[in-house]
Structure 1
Amino acid sequence: MRYVAIGELARQAGLRPSALRYYESLGLLPTARREGGRRLWPAATLRRIALIRMSQRAGFTLAEIRGLLDSSADQGATRQWRALAERKLPELDDVIRQTRYLRDAVAGCLACGCMNFNDCELLTGDPVTEA
């Protein structure tokens, strides 16, 4: 089995070594092997880091991710993942709706061309600007 030092693993993952130490302290990564005062992880740990980062981008908390990783070895993992994903989908749909609204607002502002927030007709009736 090939082991990778923390600096190399961090570089390959696009993270800082402190992030790996943090993930390890939360139980998201297995405890690193120590050799000559250096933390070493199996090279396959990079795949686990990719899963953690993908899950974070999808809106899962680190606690949720840890629960999924902890249960991944047992038979309940599939059911747990499905339940968590079903709860998370409406949240993601809401984020998508909000992002589309913001995108359309920015596009509208660019199309308006006035570039003056005080006089912009697009902002008339906006509860945020009238507060």
Structure 2
Amino acid sequence: MRELGIGDLARKVKLRPSALRYYESLGLLPTARRVTGRRVYPASTLRRVALIKMAQRAGFTLAEIRQLLDTDADRGATKQWRTLAERKIPELDQFIQETQALRNAVADCLACGCMNFDSCQLLSYGTPEDDA
């Protein structure tokens, strides 16, 4: 079985070695074997880090990711994933809605064309003049 030193693994997954050590301390990565005092990981760790990064991009917390990774395949990893994913979908939908609203606000500002923050009508609500 091929193994990777922490520096090689970090380069391949585009993370700092300190992030890998942190993931290991949280139990997200298996405890590395030591060779002359240096961490050495099995090549399968590449897939595990890919899963961690994908789950983070999807908005899962490290605690949620650990919960998923702690599940033994024989005890229902698929069920665990389904439960976490079903809880995450509404959060992602809300994030998409909020991001779309921000995108629309930026597009509206570009379409306005005034580029004057002091007098732009798009920014006029809540000003002292409106309260008068």
Instruction: Tell which structure's C-alpha radius of gyration is larger.
Output: 2
Deviates more, 1:110-119 or 1:5-14: 110-119
Runs of 4+ off more than 2 Å: 72-76, 124-127
Match of 1:58 in 2: 58
Q: CA-atom RMSD, angstroms? A: 1.5
Give the gaps of 5 or more residues in structure 1: none
Residues 49, 91 of structure 1: alpha-carbon distance in 2 compared, 3 angstrom cutoff: same
Structure with the largest fraction of helix: 2
Deviations 1:22-52 (A, max 9, x none): 0000000000000011100011101100000
What pairs up with 1:119-130 in 2 under 5 angstroms? 119-125=119-125
- 1:74-110 Cα offsets, whole Å, 9 max, x none, are 3322222111111110100000001101111111111
For this pair of structures, how many residues does the alignment match? 128
Percent identical pairs in the alignment equals 70
Q: Which residue of 1 aligns with 2:41?
A: 41
TM-score (norm 2): 0.91
Q: Report the CA distance shift for 1:126/1:43 in structure 2 as closer, same or farther (over 3 A).
A: farther
Counterpart of 2:8 in 1: which secondary structure? helix
Which deviates the most, 8-17 or 117-126?
117-126
Q: Tell me by how many angstroms 1:120 deviates.
A: 0.8
Alignment match, 1:17: 17
Q: TM-score, normalised by structure 1?
A: 0.92
Q: CA deviation at 1:126?
A: 6.0
Structure 2 unaligned spans of 5+? none
Distance 1:98 1:88 in 2: 15
For residues 76 and 44 of structure 2, the distance between their equivalents in structure 1, rounded to whole angstroms, comes to: 24
**CA deviation after TM superposition for structure 1 residue 15, in Å:** 0.2
CA–CA distance in structure 1, aligned partners of residues 121 and 72 of structure 2: 53
Rounded Cα–Cα distance in structure 2 between residues aligned with 1:74 and 1:58: 25
